[in-house]
Chains A and B, each alone.
Chain A
Amino acid sequence: MQREAGVRVREVISALRRLLSALGLESVPSADSFRRAKFNKPDSTEDLWKLLHRLLMKLFERDCTCQPPPTSPLDPELEFVRSALWYTGYGGWWVTRAQTCKSPGKIGSRDLLLALGWVMSSDNLLETLLAEKVQELELLSSTPARVPGGEDLMTCLSVSEGGGAEGGDVRSLQWHYGKLRLQWRSLLAAQQEQSKLCHKIQAKMFCSREPEVSTADVPKRSGSTGLQKDLESIQCLNRILEAYLEWKAVEPLFWCWMDSVMDGHLSDQSREKVTDESLKDRAVPHSCPHEDNVRKSFRHLNQMLLKLQTDLRRGRLEQTTLTFTAQDRSSSSAQLSPEQKRELERDVAARLQGLSLANTPTATSRGFIPNLQEPPAPHSVPRLRHGVLNQENQENKDGTTGRLQASAALKELKDREAVLLWELELLKKSQRLEMQAQTSALQGLVFIPPLKR
């Protein structure tokens, strides 16, 4: 199995190599170099360094017209690669901290491989190179000799100015534009013809069972050098496109392999972390997908732990409540008459409801814990139970901290308002009763209650 995977990786990397060399990169390192780089072997550093340098050179070819100042003490090649990687957003240790690495030789081959993977994945590098190459090869060599150039336009403009004809310049520009469009269509037709003929030639060759397709097989016709050239470029183009297709088919495997490289890198890193704390910021940037995965699983484990702890606590609390209930029942229930009992129960229930309504912890009153752990009065069991439930609620809510929908808040606030109004009404009532009692005690005073609105 392991061996089979190895073979696949070799294939995948070979496909990549073929594509890279078709795209015009010279001396792409062997598949073995890639494999050795995975294990950070120093002997493939040079190969990978060259590849990375050339690749970045190709990518930034147009931008690097300006040379670094010659007085720069650092290796210009290293400087270039570093700044190019910096530009693509790569944050490996040797890129972000230039002083720690003065020569390419100090960089591990795996670091280079990772950088290569980064460049390939982040910038559509291969597609960019492919597009450039295709554009380069698709130039038609057999274009008609006469294409109106800038001079033509200039003459037509000068003529129209000289002639002084009104609107003449617009018409002549329209004419020239039309001409260009027609010529473009001619070129399109020519291109279609070329591809059709190439296809025919290819088909003929394959029919005659010559597996080796090369331009040498094409019968040479006198005066067809242009055609020959076109044929060559089209065949070259085909090779590139084939290589790209092949690569595309195996690309997912490559990234799996890169993941394994990444794993190796991370495990080495954690080992180093234990031994040397000072090297901790050698970590790969946070945006790396692999690191993300690790962090995700950490978080998951943490959450699981928390949940288990919560469950445990809840279980313990429930157990204690049960014991309380059992004790209370046995001690005091027999001493009261049924009527008294009922009255008392009603009273307690009313008070309990009032209290619970007033003191229910809501999301709007964070941190509020109802004080229900007083020495329990007789028959206060349900109260306690309620308190426990409240506590549970509190915990559950804490689990999903800080998020409260506006509608929920509104509802809660309204409930609370109703409770408070009800309380207010109760208080008013008791106050009125008290006042009545006081006024009736005073002689010669008539109490007139305020007008109701």
Chain B
Amino acid sequence: MSVVTVQLGQCGNQIGPELFSTVYEDSTGAGRKTYQESSRERFFWETSDGVLVARSVLVDMEPKVISQAVAKASKSGKWRYGEKAHFCQKQGSGNNWANGYCVHGPRHKESVEDLVRREVERCDRLAGIFAMMSVAGGTGSGVGTFVTQCLRDMYPQAFILNHLTWPYGTGEVIVQNYNSVLTLSRLYQLSDALVVHENDTVHKICSRLMNIKHISIGDINKVIAHQLGSVLQPAYTGDSPSNYSRNPIGELLSSLVCHPEYKLLSLCNIPQMSHTSLAYSAYTWPGLLKHLRQMLIANARMEEGIDWKVCVPSSRGDSVRTGQMGFNRSLANLMILRGKDVSSADAGAFKDPALYVPWLPPDGTFSLWNSPVPFNGYEKSASLVSNSQSLLKPLDNMVRKAWNMFVSRAYMHQYTKFGISEDDFLDSFTTLEQIISSYSHL
């Protein structure tokens, strides 16, 4: 059972190696043989001389980031990327989604498809394809969307999970909202689920929880990799309670994103702190879960600054009134607990039907995975993957900003010259408005 990762664009190719490093380091250690075996099978394959090679395909239109990633991996001496598993060009997509989607993507379709096919054929079982990209730039979003489309055509029955990094609200790229709108609207049709990390929230985690003074992209990527790893590493699941699941992505999807209108997944993790203070901290499961629950209902992404005043409405009528009070309603949640005494943790508080939409059966909304192996140095760690209203606000902001630009036709010619018409934009806006409407009426 293996996951094939596709690293797309600069962002994907930076988070990718972090994820593999995290996963590798986490699975190395005494007393975790099965866990290690399972994790290794998931993310790596072994060459005849015993070297671990990441099950990953690297795609970018510039050579810089890929060569960095490849060099960094080989330098670690623990694992490396496949020798011919990357594809890059000399010239980037210039932060233009249309350039990536309409020009670069189709031009290099076959080469990228070949790389992915080779990786997929190496797996005994393809658990899923995990495509990592940002939505702001040109290559990750444009080429990434195109590649996802090709993957969907190639593997119509495979699970395709996209990891999206949402840009800072203040903006890195002037047309980032255009790119985001175009990417999201298309991926929503192609992918099985979109796992979203917002740069803003991750940045806050770095500054407040990790106490990092000068936050670099690397720090942010480490946090993202940590959170992703805590979900993707082996765990006992509902379908396989005594063996590490051989179908993690399938189970994740079937517990969270069964409805085609609701595909946005947010991720939060507790506790998170700097490695220096890790040794001096002690947590109990009830404490962690209490915090995590409040993070869920108050829509906080970190344990600091949680609004404890937000409470679960006791009836449907209440919820309408508390809608303004910041209560975050969920469709479904998946909690993953890792660490000591994990069996003693009581997740009953997450099963409260009041947390969820009334039209789903109460026993189908919450799933719990666990693993007795401590994750990434944390004695106890809890992650929550949530299909809820939590991404509504940033999505709405993104669409609003893009719309404001679109109304004045700003930078439109950059897109029309590659064949993305105003109608395409309008279609994308419609799709996203529909998603916003679906989530706000939960």
> Closest Cβ of chain B: how far from A325's Cβ, in Å?
87
Interface residue A165 (Cβ < 8 Å from any Cβ of B)? yes
Are A160 and B358 in touch, CB under 8 angstroms?
Answer: yes
Residue from A169, A174, A197 with most neighbouring chain B CB atoms (10 Å): A174
> Chain B interface: which of A98-106, A140-148, A337-345?
A140-148
Are A188 and B260 in touch, CB under 8 angstroms?
Answer: no
Are A159 and B359 in touch, CB under 8 angstroms?
Answer: yes
> Chain A interface: which of B14-22, B169-177, B251-259?
B251-259
Interface residue B419 (Cβ < 8 Å from any Cβ of A)? no
Q: A186 contacts which of B254, B258, B360, B363 (Cβ < 8 Å)?
A: B254
Look across to chain B and name the residue whose beta carbon is closest to the beta carbon of A156: B361
Interface residue A189 (Cβ < 8 Å from any Cβ of B)? yes
Are A163 and B359 in touch, CB under 8 angstroms?
Answer: yes
Contact A186/B250 with A156-B360, A176-B258 known, Cβ cut-off 8 Å = yes
Interface residue A175 (Cβ < 8 Å from any Cβ of B)? yes
Scan residues 240-265 of chain A and give those whose CB is less than 8 A from a CB of chain B: none
Interface residue A183 (Cβ < 8 Å from any Cβ of B)? yes
Are A190 and B258 in touch, CB under 8 angstroms?
Answer: no
Are B125 and A196 in touch, CB under 8 angstroms?
Answer: yes
Contacts of B358 in A (CB 8 A): 159-160, 163, 165, 168
Look across to chain B and name the residue whose beta carbon is closest to the beta carbon of A189: B125
> Closest Cβ of chain A: how far from B97's Cβ, in Å?
29
Look across to chain B and name the residue whose beta carbon is closest to the beta carbon of A147: B239
Scan residues 29-55 of chain B and give those whose CB is less than 8 A from a CB of chain A: none
Scan residues 182-233 of chain B and give those whose CB is less than 8 A from a CB of chain A: 192
Q: B260 contacts which of A168, A178, A192 (Cβ < 8 Å)?
A: A178
Contact A172/B239 with A178-B258, A182-B254 known, Cβ cut-off 8 Å = no
Contact A171/B259 with A156-B364, A163-B359 known, Cβ cut-off 8 Å = yes
Contacts of B65 in A (CB 8 A): none
Interface size on A, residues (CB 8 A): 34
Contacts of B124 in A (CB 8 A): 193, 196-197, 200
Are A185 and B359 in touch, CB under 8 angstroms?
Answer: no
Contacts of A182 in B (CB 8 A): 159, 192, 250, 253-254, 258
Contacts of A155 in B (CB 8 A): 361, 363
> Closest Cβ of chain A: how far from B121's Cβ, in Å?
10
Interface residue B157 (Cβ < 8 Å from any Cβ of A)? yes
CA gap between A179 and B239 in the complex, in Å: 14
Are A163 and B316 in touch, CB under 8 angstroms?
Answer: yes
Look across to chain A and name the residue whose beta carbon is closest to the beta carbon of B239: A144
> Closest Cβ of chain B: how far from A191's Cβ, in Å?
10
Contacts of A183 in B (CB 8 A): 250, 254
> Closest Cβ of chain B: how far from A151's Cβ, in Å?
10
> Closest Cβ of chain A: how far from B241's Cβ, in Å?
8
Q: A192 contacts which of B125, B251, B258 (Cβ < 8 Å)?
A: B125
Contacts of A200 in B (CB 8 A): 124
Q: A160 contacts which of B251, B259, B359 (Cβ < 8 Å)?
A: B359
Are A172 and B360 in touch, CB under 8 angstroms?
Answer: yes
CA gap between A325 and B260 in the complex, in Å: 99
CA gap between A160 and B358 in the complex, in Å: 7
Interface residue B247 (Cβ < 8 Å from any Cβ of A)? yes
Interface residue A292 (Cβ < 8 Å from any Cβ of B)? no
Are B259 and A175 in touch, CB under 8 angstroms?
Answer: yes
CA gap between A335 and B104 in the complex, in Å: 108
Look across to chain B and name the residue whose beta carbon is closest to the beta carbon of A183: B254
Contacts of B126 in A (CB 8 A): 189, 192
> Closest Cβ of chain A: how far from B304's Cβ, in Å?
34
CA gap between A182 and B257 in the complex, in Å: 9
Look across to chain A and name the residue whose beta carbon is closest to the beta carbon of B441: A167
> Closest Cβ of chain B: how far from A158's Cβ, in Å?
9
Are A152 and B250 in touch, CB under 8 angstroms?
Answer: no
Interface residue B311 (Cβ < 8 Å from any Cβ of A)? no
Residue from A145, A177, A189 with most neighbouring chain B CB atoms (10 Å): A189
Contacts of B246 in A (CB 8 A): 190, 193
Contacts of B296 in A (CB 8 A): none
Contacts of A188 in B (CB 8 A): 157
CA gap between A136 and B397 in the complex, in Å: 54
Look across to chain B and name the residue whose beta carbon is closest to the beta carbon of A154: B361
Contacts of B357 in A (CB 8 A): 165, 168, 171
Contacts of B362 in A (CB 8 A): 159
Contacts of A179 in B (CB 8 A): 254, 258, 364
Contacts of B247 in A (CB 8 A): 144, 186, 189-190
Contacts of B258 in A (CB 8 A): 174-179, 181-182
Q: A175 contacts which of B250, B251, B253, B360 (Cβ < 8 Å)?
A: B360
Look across to chain A and name the residue whose beta carbon is closest to the beta carbon of B257: A178
Interface residue B102 (Cβ < 8 Å from any Cβ of A)? no
Scan residues 422-436 of chain B and give those whose CB is less than 8 A from a CB of chain A: none
Interface residue B392 (Cβ < 8 Å from any Cβ of A)? no
Contacts of A172 in B (CB 8 A): 359-361
> Closest Cβ of chain B: how far from A56's Cβ, in Å?
39
Residue from A148, A160, A171 with most neighbouring chain B CB atoms (10 Å): A171
Interface residue B106 (Cβ < 8 Å from any Cβ of A)? no
Are B159 and A152 in touch, CB under 8 angstroms?
Answer: no
Contact code string A255-287 (vs B, CB < 8 Å = 1, else 0): 000000000000000000000000000000000
> Closest Cβ of chain A: how far from B246's Cβ, in Å?
8
Contact code string B333-365 (vs A, CB < 8 Å = 1, else 0): 000000000000000000000000111111110
Are B251 and A186 in touch, CB under 8 angstroms?
Answer: yes
CA gap between A317 and B254 in the complex, in Å: 94
> Closest Cβ of chain B: how far from A189's Cβ, in Å?
6
> Closest Cβ of chain B: how far from A160's Cβ, in Å?
5
CA gap between A266 and B344 in the complex, in Å: 84
CA gap between A343 and B306 in the complex, in Å: 133
> Closest Cβ of chain B: how far from A105's Cβ, in Å?
56
Are B127 and A189 in touch, CB under 8 angstroms?
Answer: yes
CA gap between A156 and B359 in the complex, in Å: 7
Contacts of B359 in A (CB 8 A): 156, 159-160, 163, 165, 168-169, 171-172, 175
Interface residue B238 (Cβ < 8 Å from any Cβ of A)? yes
Contacts of B257 in A (CB 8 A): 178
CA gap between A172 and B442 in the complex, in Å: 12
CA gap between A172 and B364 in the complex, in Å: 11
Contacts of A148 in B (CB 8 A): 364
Interface residue B310 (Cβ < 8 Å from any Cβ of A)? no
Contacts of B364 in A (CB 8 A): 148, 152, 156, 175, 179
Residue from B126, B159, B239, B316 with most neighbouring chain A CB atoms (10 Å): B239
CA gap between A184 and B136 in the complex, in Å: 34
Contact A159/B361 with A185-B157, A189-B127, A193-B1 known, Cβ cut-off 8 Å = yes
Interface residue B158 (Cβ < 8 Å from any Cβ of A)? yes
Contacts of A196 in B (CB 8 A): 124-125
Contacts of A163 in B (CB 8 A): 316, 358-359
CA gap between A197 and B247 in the complex, in Å: 16
Scan residues 174-220 of chain A and give those whose CB is less than 8 A from a CB of chain B: 174-179, 181-183, 185-186, 188-190, 192-193, 196-197, 200
CA gap between A174 and B192 in the complex, in Å: 15
Contacts of B192 in A (CB 8 A): 182
CA gap between A148 and B240 in the complex, in Å: 16
Closest CB pairs A-B (n = 3): A168-B359, A178-B258, A193-B125
List 27 contacting pairs A-B, 8 Å CB cutoff, sorted by A: A144-B239, A144-B247, A144-B251, A146-B238, A152-B361, A159-B361, A160-B359, A168-B357, A169-B359, A171-B359, A174-B260, A175-B258, A177-B258, A178-B257, A178-B258, A178-B259, A179-B258, A182-B253, A182-B254, A185-B157, A185-B250, A186-B251, A189-B250, A190-B125, A190-B247, A192-B126, A193-B124
Beyond the given A163-B359, A192-B125, please list 4 additional residue pairs across the A-B interface where CB-CB is below 8 A.
A156-B359, A182-B250, A189-B250, A197-B124
